[in-house]
């Protein structure tokens, strides 16, 4: 009596050889940070304090270090007082009211043929000047508010913050040292997600696709098996080695998988 082959086995045998090979084969890979960033100061100056060191985890927006900001803090305080002061506007409002009252009196006298026309014209001019001075006082207050904002932004630029969530890989400067704008203070690595970089033979190029799951096994002493997703497939081959590059994104919210480590991957 003839035995019937398993439908799954039949389907597997009908698959192209490269696809079967891709599913069964194990490939070497390297686990890398998703991003490595060198952090420098937006302004030059002496480091007043450095708050983090190598191995510390940081979140986006965390303060990493501060430059000496004595002058900038004084400037901010001065600009804040100036922006809040409305003494100039109050004085010009009072002057305009007085000028308007004088104009009203002169107008009444002229209507009664008691005052001179020249006095009326002078009073009208005084009112217009007072209005202009009031507008200028209001403009000066708006400018003072903008100068305060600019001074505050200048002060904020002397605080170095982390642009990403990650881990401090290097601290290159310490408190008391001079930080230049083109000299990094920290190196930060983003390790959630991780990028798993793989080079595969060109023969299996058509058997992998973006969005497909991949099984990652880190090399000892890291234990466990992890699932990632293919996010990048290179469209340019390396003719010398007959390979193409592929990237797998591996979620790592607990930072339990270190970057810079070897691994194997299967699809």
What does the domain layout of the chain look like in residue ranges? 7-67+167-266, 70-156
Residue 216 has pLDDT above 70, yes or no: yes
Is the pLDDT score of 196 beyond 50?
yes
Q: What is the mean pLDDT of residues 74-98?
A: 94
pLDDT per position as a tens digit, 126-162: 999 999 999 999 999 999 999 999 999 999 999 999 9
Burial class (CB in 10 A: 0-12, 13-18, 19+), 112: exposed
Report the interhelical angle of 117-156 vs 70-84 (nearest 10°): 150
Class (C level, CATH) for 7-67+167-266: mainly beta
Distances (CA, A) of 44 to 18, 40, 63, 168, 185: 57, 9, 17, 21, 12
Between residues 11 and 127, which one has the greater pLDDT? 127
Q: Is the pLDDT of residue 166 over 70?
A: yes
Determine the Cα angle at 257 with ends 56 and 201, to 5°: 130
Percentage of residues in the chain having pLDDT higher than 70: 91
Q: The tokens 């991003």 sit on which residue?
A: 35
């Amino acid at each position: 009596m003839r035995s019937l082959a398993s439908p799954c086995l039949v389907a597997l045998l009908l698959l192209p050889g490269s696809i079967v090979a891709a599913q069964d084969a194990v490939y070497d890979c390297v686990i890398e940070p998703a991003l490595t960033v060198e952090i420098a100061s937006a302004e030059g100056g002496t480091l007043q304090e450095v708050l983090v060191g190598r191995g510390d985890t940081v979140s986006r927006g965390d303060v990493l270090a501060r430059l000496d900001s004595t002058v900038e803090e004084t400037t901010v305080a001065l600009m804040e007082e100036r922006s809040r002061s409305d003494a100039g506007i109050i004085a010009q409002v009072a002057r305009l009211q007085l000028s308007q009252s004088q104009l009203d009196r002169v107008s009444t006298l002229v209507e009664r043929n008691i005052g001179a026309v020249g006095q009326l014209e002078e009073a009208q001019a005084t009112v217009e000047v007072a209005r202009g001075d009031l507008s200028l006082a209001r403009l000066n207050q708006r400018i003072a508010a903008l100068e305060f904002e600019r001074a505050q932004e200048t002060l904020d630029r002397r605080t170095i913050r982390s642009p990403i969530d990650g881990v401090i890989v290097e601290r290159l400067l310490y408190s008391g040292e001079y930080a230049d704008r083109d000299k990094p203070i920290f190196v930060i690595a983003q390790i959630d997600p991780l990028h798993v970089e793989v080079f595969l033979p060109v023969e299996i190029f058509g058997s992998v696709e973006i969005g497909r799951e991949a099984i990652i096994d880190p090399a000892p002493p890291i234990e466990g098996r992890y699932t990632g997703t293919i996010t990048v497939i290179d469209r340019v081959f390396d003719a010398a080695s007959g390979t193409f590059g592929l990237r797998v994104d591996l979620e790592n919210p607990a930072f339990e998988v270190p970057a810079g480590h070897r691994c194997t991957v299967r699809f």
